[in-house]
Amino acid sequence: MEAAQVPRQRLEQLLDAAVRYTEERHWDVCPGTWLERSGGGRCSCGEEACAAPGAHPAGDGWADGATGSGAAARRMWTRRPGAAVLLPTGRAFDAVDVPESAGFLALARMERMSLPLGPVTRTPDRRMQFFVLPGAAAKAEDLARRAGWNAASIGLRGVGEGGYVVAPPTRVGGAGAVQWARSPTTANRWLPEVEELIGPLAYACGRVAADTRRKSLS
């Protein structure tokens, strides 16, 4: 099967990004699905109504195929150059996933407060993932509750062991590419504890959820 109907430059960027994540950040990477050239951009999984075309795991045992080796990553993406770059969570990091509008609101507030921040991704379906130390997913809901918020009702969730983050520059069908809202750098190599970020994140999510409810009633 041929890789995605995308420019060769982007295919090379996927390979380069996967290798860079392993070598510079020591993150495990795993190739996901891809977009079929012959299928007009259809996901390699074959589902007509795929929710994330070309940007999800390729099978149930996907995590077993993850690698932290740059050489192995290069071989994987050389064989399948259009494959999504997936970062398994629960290993080097967990993530706190929030609505994009709340994420930007929280990001601005946390930067003003000079809170420690790790990398942050931004997805085409308008979500943001804040990278934090492993173990966060198991605590996120309870920490939000202690701060006075119901995580599910405000759209906040933890992504941990058994989950994944879709990494830039993976493209999600025709919706666009995953981007860095806050890129990985030497300055944010050391990730924060979820306890340091949950307050601003939950507050921002709660505020956005309340505003959305008010607009729907007006």
3-state secondary structure 75-114: HHHHHCCCCCEEEECCCCCEEEEEEHHHHHHHHHHHHHCC
Q: What is the pLDDT of residue 40?
A: 64
Strand order in the sheet with 179-182: 157-159, 94-99, 127-132, 120-122, 179-182
The pTM of this model reads 0.92
Rounded distance between C-alpha atoms, residue 22 and residue 67, angstroms = 8
H/E element holding 136?
A: helix 136-146
Closest CA to 174 of 54, 19, 29, 9: 54
Residue whose entry in the numeric block shows the structure tokens 């008010």: 214
CA pair distance 146, 97, nearest whole angstrom: 18
Return per-residue pLDDT of the chain as tens, 218 residues.
333 334 455 666 999 999 999 999 999 999 999 998 775 679 999 999 999 999 999 999 999 999 999 999 999 999 999 999 999 999 999 999 999 999 999 999 999 999 999 999 999 999 999 999 999 999 999 999 999 999 999 999 999 999 999 999 999 999 999 999 999 999 999 999 999 999 999 999 999 999 988 888 87
The span from the CA of 56 to the CA of 34, in Å, is 8
